[in-house]
Structure 1
Amino acid sequence: MLAAFGVGSASVDTVLTTSAVQPGGFVEGHVHITGGDHDVQIEQAVLSLVTRVEVESGDYEHHAGVELAQVVAAHSFRVAPGERQSIPFRMPVPWEAPITEVYGQHLRGMVMGVRTELVIAKGRDKGDLDPVAITPLPVQQGVLDGFAANGFRFKHADVEHGRLHGVQQTLPIFQEIEFWPPPQHAGRINEVELTFVANPYGVDVILEFDKRGGVFSSGHDAYSRFSIRHDQAAGTDWAAVVDGWVREATSRYFSHLPPGYGHGGSGGHGGYGGHGHGPHHRGPGMGTVVAAGAAGVVGGIVAGEVFEEVFEDDGGDFEF
């Protein structure tokens, strides 16, 4: 009877050898299982990459756990009393996995972990949950550097349930990274929301500009989308590219801007849908971009945020 209720059963501990990984990569590690007081027949050892997602339901919002990837590390095996077994695993990370770490710092609002479950007698023992960091791809890092170099400050990041219009997705979720605008845009833009949708060939960059409302007008959102190949990450002046995106969007959507605002002196860059600036546009170089990135983006990041507290911040409303 005690065994039926899990008393004296096997224990599980997962050790990740991959603490940080880029989208499209792999999380690797070992599942360590120690036998309890009696033989245990384990049907499966399952590992899942899970994250917290914001779900909108009418006028209400709540958080839910969503599985992004899963791998079965072992099938149908027995663990004897006191026996120790170590099972290696290698789990692919989806290209569309949200970013959780930038410049070595945890992004406030993001949650990501590897859940270990043992399937025993058609039941599931959820086991432990281990944090894992998803770091940016080179294109994603370049875009983040570009926003930082242009004075945008990190505000918040979250993952929402749903799909983006006109964007091909394999996962039913998308990440929004929010920025406060720099002083030169503060009177026109309330905030900018950045979304990456990556694939094996490149990254779609979706920008949402939240326009401030005036005394006699209401605010509205403007959207821009750009597709960038992975091989375009190196050698690109991301500060100039992002500046061109922002200027083009504000000029196109926000008609009350001063005359001539938003038109740089260089031609379009074909790799960015004709909206970016060419390599000869005057702007900060990559050294400046990286330095500004560490100061600008990380300025709004909470370093060392306690993983367990993030998972539990919604009490009983958020479970895996």
Structure 2
Amino acid sequence: MVFKRLLGSLGVGGPAVDTVLDPGAAAPGGTLSGQVHLTGGGGDFTIEYVALELVARVEAELDDGESEGTVAFERFIVGGNFRLAEGERRSVPFSVTLPWETPITELYGQGLGIALGVRTELGVAGAKDKGDLDPVAVRPLPAQEAVLEALGQLGFGFESADLELGHIGGTGQQLPFYQEIELTPAPQYAHQVNEIEVTFLAGPAGLDVVLEADKRGGMCSEGHDALTRFTVGHHGVERVDWNAEVDGWIRRLVENHGHHATPASHDHVAHGGGPYEEGHGHRSGPGMGTAVAAGAGGLAVGVVGGMAAAEVVDEVGDFFEGEDEDDEGHEGDEG
């Protein structure tokens, strides 16, 4: 994707920015690369720095309900300290490493409704200006894909995915938010749970898989949430019988036999762990009925009830358009 920006803080004739990401989806802990193309304006400018900022649309649970906004969770300086002459064209190549906990935005090429982007910022003559957002595609790690594939093979279906502000207690979570992938129960568990939520917390050595079940109530008991956590490595994924492994996890979860002595607990933090810019009327989550279903070739992302996957893309597109409008309304803002 490409975006161009005339720096409003510098007025007419300022440098133009054209950032191009290399094609293909990146992976958590992997490389995001591309080039920032600069075109000099009506005069000479000193470019003090060229920065890239990773941002995401994140939901927060507040005392008076839910809110949605933008969280910047990583920043890279990819160039700077040079003079950009009038009309000069210059390219700044970059190759940066994504955080291991970067949320996945697609599965088998199908978007999950997660709004994740990179924003270019220039520091020019003591001022700064944040450019437009460029969507970033992130594919799952092999272990993440194996777990999701197994869930699909077991009959679980994709319902929605979102990012929640806060931390999951008992984990080594690094980012100020976590991703929840909500699944409809497989037929064999439908009488026990209403929904399963999956969260991946990846790191260099492996990943934690946090599972939460919305359990149904019985004749003499009320429904409640059950939560547990399992750890898997990045290596040897192909040697694991993931259907059996994941089915064992689900059985322990619904029977309240956690893998760890102290199950993880959600610690929702309204504004902790990082900057949170409240949203501008965007509605939360895709909720489009997009499904992940088990097929002959494994887990496939499809369409349910005639709801086109393009609607999920539109939902994400609305977020980026809204952020662009907000930037235009705050050009040259130092805060």
1:28-65 Cα deviation digits (max 9, x unpaired): 11100011112222211111121111122213221222
Q: Which residue pairs with 2:319 in the alignment?
A: 310
Q: 1:317 to 1:148 in 2, by over 3 A?
A: farther
Note if 1:165 corresponds to 2:162. no
1:145 maps to which of 136, 145, 149: 149
Match of 2:104 in 1: 99
More helix by share: 1
4+ long deviations beyond 6 Å:
313-320
Per-residue Cα deviation, 1:9-31 (whole angstroms, up to 9, x for no partner): 11001011143111111101110
TM-score (norm 2): 0.77
Amino acid aligned to 2:57:
R
Write the deviation string for residues 196-234 of structure 1: whole angstroms up to 9, x where unpaired. 000111110000000123565431100111000111311
Among 216, 227, 234, the residue aligned to 2:231:
227
1:1-320 to 2 correspondence within 5 Å? 5-108=10-113, 110-214=114-218, 217-252=221-256, 291-294=297-300, 297-299=301-303, 302=309, 305-306=313-314, 307-312=316-321
Secondary structure of 2:239's match? coil
User: Structure 1 length as normaliser, TM-score?
Assistant: 0.81
**Displacement, 1:5?**
4.5
Between structure 1 and structure 2, the one with the greater Rg is: 1
The one-letter code matched in structure 2 to 1:55 is A
CA-based RMSD of the aligned residues comes to 2.9
Distance 1:32 1:44 in 2: 13
User: Which deviates more from structure 2 when the two are superposed, residues 159-168 or residues 306-315?
Assistant: 306-315
Give the direction of change, closer, same or farther, for the CA distance of 1:316–1:39 in structure 2 (3 Å limit). Answer: closer
Deviation at 1:184, TM superposition (A): 2.4
Number of equivalenced pairs? 285
Q: Does 138-147 or 244-253 show the bigger shift?
A: 244-253
Alignment CA distance shift 1:55-1:171 (3 Å):
same
- Return the alpha-carbon distance in structure 1 between the equivalents of residues 260 and 297 of structure 2: 27
AA paired with 1:310? F
1:124 & 1:51 partners in 2: Cα distance?
A: 21
SS in 2 for 1:222: strand
- Taking the aligned partners of 1:175 and 1:227, their CA distance within structure 2 comes to 17
Cα shift at 1:252: 3.1
CA contact (8 A) 1:13 1:128 kept: no
Please, which runs of 5 or more residues in structure 2 have no aligned partner? Answer: 1-6, 262-293, 331-335
Supply the distance in 1 between the matched residues of 2:94 and 2:158 (Cα, whole angstroms). Answer: 35
Structure 1: gaps spanning 5 or more residues: 254-271, 275-287
Change (3 A) 1:314 1:210: farther
Q: Which has the higher contact order (CA 8 A, sep 6+)?
A: 2
Amino acid at match of 1:34: T
CA contact (8 A) 1:12 1:128 kept: no
